[in-house]
Structure 1
Amino acid sequence: MTKIAAIDLGAESGRVIVATFADGKVELDLINRFTHMPLTADGGLRWDIAALQRHIIDGLTQARIRHGDIAAIGVDTWGVDYALIDAAGELVEAPYCYRDKRTDGVMAEARRTMPDAEIFRRTGIRSMQINTLYQLIAHQRQRPASLTTAQRLLGMPDWLHFWLSGERANEQTFSSTTQLCAVGAKEWDRELIRRFAIPDHLFADIAPAGTVLGTLRPALARECGFTIAPRVVLPGSHDTASAVAAVPGDPATTCFISSGTWSLMGAHGSGALTSPEAHAALISNEIGVGGAPRPLTNIMGLWIVQECRRAWAKAGSEKSYAELTRLASEATPLRAVLDVDDARFLHSSVDSDDMPSRIRQWCAEKKLPAPADLGQTVRFILDGLADAYARVCANFERLSGKRFAAVHVVGGGGENQFLAQLTADACARPVITGPTEATALGNVLTQAVAIGVLASPAEARATLARSIALKHYE
């Protein structure tokens, strides 16, 4: 029996989960779950690093109490955000959240240096203002002294691995989200970095998922109560990479959606899609666990519902996600389709108008009737998501030359049975959901292979298949 911990951080909440590997199966135990939100500080929207560290230490301490010593620990997070560290290994400043408004207008400025099409040809990544490339252009423009002081750029999970182990590494799946790597993300695109006047010394070698960095720092091991320090292992450090590593079934015939705050929809086994047609279809060729390209499209996701719920709770109408989904299922659908990827829906209500107001504004601009109540608003969003999924599925079939027999949804969004049925209806094919905890499963399975608990990725897939139950929607 072997215990492995996943520190799984989304852009709204985080968890520490312990996996037990025994009798050919893997079983997960949720140790703690916590909310983490960016704060407005030092002129920007930034992550509360001290709070994240406290939650992780609490989770690891509780994990040790419940499970004893743990063999390995690995972190996955959302993509694109980064930390700058100085020569002493200290943070130069609190990391920005990708929803900060500093990148507004930066893409237009960047096009004067390099057109979007050339950036896509070089990196294989769709241009989005949240990408690390555009964040760094904004950083260079607004706070150049920080980049001068910094000795190294680490992605958010890379920085957390450094804090845990004392070892610095830029993990490949996360690095592929930055739009700063050459296609395939085996190396940084130094010419692109130079063209945008980003300091070249910030970027060191890229390490593949499955790299064993070392062990938990002695001081942290003592604080958490471990008698034997766990190894610190790079999983697919981008949460989508870990989630897709836990998509069961035949990758040649299935389109996947990793559904949560964002919806990441794509296809396995298509190779990198870098044609002008792929660029026009908003494809990003991120890298999966194992190093192969994993083409996908970013869709705004359940973030819009999350922000509506936050606004309604603030106004005195607090409802659970289950209640909101029930109201949506009972609501009359509008005769319009919400563009869930409209840029106005990107920003947090912390520094923008609330989300329901932005939806009403979108409807007014389109001369469409606005949703009448909470249920109709959520129905409007979910219908918009299902429509987006259908369009993206059709794009992947056209570009890859494949016909997908089903759409497989993993992650927390797969628990929304109403959305799953809307997706099946919109895509005109079966939808399969599960596992809900795909990110944590992909994380620990990668670690298990790395430390020899499982012999190979094939054994990891077999272990996964024996351990999960799926739901089907026609």
Structure 2
Amino acid sequence: DLRHLEQEILAGLKKIGDRQVPLDSVSCDSWGVDYVFLPNDGSPARDPLCYRDVRNERAYPKVLQKVGRDRIFQRTGLQFMPFNTLFQAAADGFECRPEMPKAKSILLIADYVNYFLGGRPAAEVSLASTTQFYDPRKREWARDLLDEVGFPTRLLPEIVPSGARLGKISPTIANSTGIQSTCEVVASCSHDTAAAVAATPAQGKDWAYLSSGTWSLLGVERPEPMLTPDCLRLALTNEVGYDHTIRLLKNIAGLWLVQECRRDFASQGRDMDYATLTRLAGEAKPLATLLDPFLSIWNAPGKMTSRIADYAKTTGQGSDLFGKLGDGVPGGFGIPHSPDG
């Protein structure tokens, strides 16, 4: 909901303006992969489709068959997930999305917010690296991949490094919020995980990180991408961090499972906040059921409690996972963060 995001951003800036807090710059980070079409005529951009949209599942096997898994990985180094921007773009190309011929550019979410604030259209490199059509060795778009799936490469914006200055805040926003007109719009590490890793107070080479949220991102920082057959086989991904370091990592289903369970309960008339879920989980027998977060069966929204219960049953971990805790609370499942459990 772009209009809602825009209004909330403006509301936050106005509170800063009302307090006369001096700002040298503003910036935005966001999740990766999703993108907005910028209309040619300057009209408001339409809401983007979420990366969990079913269209990606239709495009995914077509792209792998047409382009080839090995070729895509050698160009981009990314873990194969159906919602990566490459497959979203392919779906839009295959299905002739109506916004496409009327657009002048695409922008990923944080890049769009920077543009909305007054910056020029640009793709910050850490965010661009989540698309699966960015080449981390050549440090440029892998345009040939998009050509093969029928997505127009004329829509790709320039790639800029973290810290690039994109322009001044727009006069309209400055006037409506009270923010100084000298405030600059800067491309931060615009991918949220890249920003988190950049802020990690670690030194040397003997450390790893686990960034936990909707996804759990487990990885290390490297100077160069690793594009070996083992990386492809193990479904590791090479994303760009600050100063074009490489975050070699694994995407793992995280608190999305709990979020979806909560939504499932609410649809059944059992609306519980996270504090209640946390309390009930603490009262449950710990790790009574273990889930494999590397499985793609958790990616889609909807009926998560049923899917978890079915998984527990088929793996011999019992069929009454939810029945004993508040008539439906996932209190006793754990999510290992190692492929070996």
TM-score w.r.t. the length of structure 2 is 0.92
Is the CA contact (8 Å cut-off) linking 2:257 and 2:304 kept in structure 1?
Answer: yes
* Unaligned ranges ≥5, structure 2: none
Other-structure match for 2:113? 160
**Residues 187-266 of structure 1 mapped to structure 2, 5 A cutoff:** 187-266=140-219
**Residues 72-471 of structure 1 mapped to structure 2, 5 A cutoff:** 72-91=25-44, 93-184=46-137, 186-269=139-222, 271-333=224-286, 336-348=289-301, 352=302, 354-370=303-319, 371-372=321-322, 373-374=324-325, 377-380=330-333, 383-384=334-335, 387=336, 389-391=337-339
Is the CA contact (8 Å cut-off) linking 1:87 and 1:151 kept in structure 2?
Answer: yes
Q: How big is each residue's C-alpha offset from its partner over 1:364-420, in whole Å with a ceiling of 9 and x where there is no partner?
A: 44454131344872431xx22xx2x233xx8xxxxxxxxxxxxxxxxxxxxxxxxxx
Is the CA contact (8 Å cut-off) linking 1:184 and 1:287 kept in structure 2?
Answer: no
- When structure 1 is superposed on structure 2, of 159-168 and 82-91 the one drifting more is 82-91
Is the CA contact (8 Å cut-off) linking 2:104 and 2:155 kept in structure 1?
Answer: yes
1:335 Cα offset (Å): 5.5
1:98 Cα offset (Å): 0.5
Other-structure match for 1:409? none
Is 1:56 the equivalent of 2:5? no
Over 3 Å counting, the alpha-carbon distance change for 1:99 and 1:369 in structure 2 is same
Is the CA contact (8 Å cut-off) linking 1:175 and 1:185 kept in structure 2?
Answer: no
Is the CA contact (8 Å cut-off) linking 1:87 and 1:150 kept in structure 2?
Answer: yes
Q: How big is each residue's C-alpha offset from its partner over 1:101-135, in whole Å with a ceiling of 9 and x where there is no partner?
A: 11123221112212212211110111111100000
Over 3 Å counting, the alpha-carbon distance change for 1:68 and 1:358 in structure 2 is same
Is the CA contact (8 Å cut-off) linking 1:64 and 1:70 kept in structure 2?
Answer: no
SS in 2 for 1:297: strand
Is the CA contact (8 Å cut-off) linking 1:122 and 1:182 kept in structure 2?
Answer: yes
What amino acid maps onto 1:234 in structure 2? A
Name the CA distance, whole Å, in 2 between partners of 1:355 and 1:185. 41
Identical counterparts, % of pairs: 34
1:291 Cα offset (Å): 1.1
TM-score w.r.t. the length of structure 1 is 0.67
Name the CA distance, whole Å, in 2 between partners of 1:180 and 1:143. 19
Is the CA contact (8 Å cut-off) linking 2:29 and 2:189 kept in structure 1?
Answer: yes
* Unaligned ranges ≥5, structure 1: 1-47, 395-425, 427-474
Q: How big is each residue's C-alpha offset from its partner over 1:149-179, in whole Å with a ceiling of 9 and x where there is no partner?
A: 2221111111111111151111100000000
1:229 Cα offset (Å): 3.9
Name the CA distance, whole Å, in 2 between partners of 1:199 and 1:244. 33
What amino acid maps onto 1:129 in structure 2? P
What amino acid maps onto 1:363 in structure 2? A
Other-structure match for 1:401? none
1:192 Cα offset (Å): 1.5
1:309 Cα offset (Å): 1.8
SS in 1 for 2:66: coil
Is the CA contact (8 Å cut-off) linking 1:180 and 1:193 kept in structure 2?
Answer: yes
Over 3 Å counting, the alpha-carbon distance change for 1:218 and 1:270 in structure 2 is closer
What amino acid maps onto 1:390 in structure 2? S
Other-structure match for 1:399? none
Name the CA distance, whole Å, in 2 between partners of 1:184 and 1:328. 45
SS in 2 for 1:151: strand
